[in-house]
Amino acid sequence: MTAQYDAVIIGAGFGGMGAAIQLQELGLHNLLILDREDDLGGTWHVNHYPGLAVDIPSAVYSYSFEPNPYWSRLFAPGSELKKYAEHVADKYGLRKYMRFGVVVNGARWDAEHDHWVVSTADGDTVTGTYLLTATGFLSQPRMPDIEGIDTFAGKVIHTTKWDNDFDPKGRRIGVIGTGATAVQLIPELAKSAAELTVYQRTAIWVVPKMDAHVPGFVRQLFARVPQTQKAARKVGGTVLEAIMVGGVLHFRQFKVFNRGAAAAAKAHLYAQVRDPKVRKALTPDYDFGCKRPTFSNTYFRTFNKPNVKLESTSIARVEPDGIVTTDGNKIEIDTLVLATGFNLWEANFPAIEVIGREDRNLGKFWRDNRFQAFEGITVPKFPNFLSLNSPYSYSGLSYFDTIESQMRHVKRLFQEMQRQGATTFEVTEAANTDFLDRMTRKLDDSVFILGSCETSRSYYFNQHGEATLLRPTSTASAYEEQGTFPLEAYEIA
């Protein structure tokens, strides 16, 4: 029995589309892309809260093989990313593969027929020779487990389910969370809310955003002479890489980079916030880089506004008409905004149940052992499976660097299979173990091990306290390695 599809890809965001483009290039055209949402774009379809924008420069945050010369700002707004996703889907003919509103429950390797059986919530099954999961890291919204939250009688909005008809004007709003999403949203809500109370559990490092409108002549230049935008990409990428590699991954050797970034963030805070008590509360008590920092020119100064209050006392409970903190203080609100982020380690690794050879359950394997995947993509006993959102897969910088590195890995692996006339692959235990050991050793130099991260509550760390999300190498070396890994790492048949 042959599979219905060459490959089933779960996720129609940039990761899934990148994978499909690569598979097409390799000659695989019988593809199926499933997505639980009602349109393509992943994160950039789901998120449309006010203030949404990229916080990695747009010249960098896009496919290198599909530059967009028309970004309106250095850091483009979210709506432009959604349009860019649509453009890519059209240009590379990907829409014909996509099926929306399909919730995938799980996938099981059928060893008799050498293919994957993918089951969906509506009771259907589809089969594919290859299975690729591109479900993102930030795709399972976290609902906070706070006493009484279900009793709140006003409007409740999680940032991933923004109600475009909601008008903050005149509302008494409580925002829970101060991550990168809240940093973008809070200045927008503060423009017209009657009262805005921001409930902060952990302060975030915020550095200035070198943002600007991109003038028409620059866009024309990028369109006519693509090398100029390539150069901008190179500069942007190099700066980000220096901060990440020097300040975070090589904390032992280049602590000065890390301290420099923290000093820049503190100076930014000092310049923007007048009240020393508020300033102190907004200052993180953990090292820069332990947790994802962000960029904003408007977040800190929002706390100078008379209608905005920062509340850093812990929340005790939510009541039908307000929030009570552990000091007994109650603030009445009519709208509760949950900027509470995503559940990575409990709900996302993996996002669906995946059962491989010998009934190995991927989620259980990761939890019972350590979180691991060869080159952040493949796992022993999971033949023909490319898990694009795996431990050690993401560089922590532009997600497109990760996507394109992974595309290179797929290309090298599939070209070798084609050369051998083979159709199945499985990474060896030895290659996987070597990779895990190497990543573990590399982390020894990082801020995650040597810095003070205990109070950061960072999603870079899994439930066992290990920083297994980010790949602790430069993006340049990841890219190189994904195109040159030893082919003996795989058993190919």
Q: Which residues bind ligand NAP (CB under 6 A)?
A: 53-55, 138, 142, 144, 146, 176-182, 184, 201-202, 292, 315, 339-342, 457, 459
Nearest residue to ligand NAP, scored by beta-carbon proximity: 179
Structure tokens at 243: 């901060």
Q: Which residue, 177 or 356, has its beta carbon nearer to ligand NAP?
A: 177
Contact of 157 with 171, CB cutoff 8 Å: no
Q: Which residue, 126 or 149, has its beta carbon nearer to ligand NAP?
A: 149
Q: Which residue, 171 or 292, has its beta carbon nearer to ligand NAP?
A: 292
| DSSP H/E element including 387 | strand 385-387
Exposure letters 239-274 (e unless 16+ CB within 10 A, then b): ebbebbbbbbbbbeebbebbeebbeebbebbeebbe
Give the shortest CB-7-to-ligand NAP separation in angstroms: 28
Q: Which residue, 145 or 368, has its beta carbon nearer to ligand NAP?
A: 145
Give the shortest CB-123-to-ligand NAP separation in angstroms: 33
Give the shortest CB-284-to-ligand NAP separation in angstroms: 10
Closest CA to 127 of 119, 135, 137: 119
Give the shortest CB-271-to-ligand NAP separation in angstroms: 22
Give the shortest CB-63-to-ligand NAP separation in angstroms: 16
At a CB cut-off of 8 Å and minimum separation 6, what does 163 contact? Answer: 155, 157
**Checking phi first, is residue 299 left (phi over 0); if not, alpha (psi -120 to 50) or beta?**
alpha
Give the shortest CB-384-to-ligand NAP separation in angstroms: 30
Q: Which residue, 44 or 385, has its beta carbon nearer to ligand NAP?
A: 44
Give the shortest CB-455-to-ligand NAP separation in angstroms: 9
* Burial class of residue 214 (count of CB atoms within 10 Å of its CB; 0-12, 13-18, 19+): buried
Q: Which residue, 127 or 184, has its beta carbon nearer to ligand NAP?
A: 184
Q: Which residue, 146 or 261, has its beta carbon nearer to ligand NAP?
A: 146
At a CB cut-off of 8 Å and minimum separation 6, what does 176 contact? Answer: 144, 146, 199, 315, 336, 337, 338, 339, 340
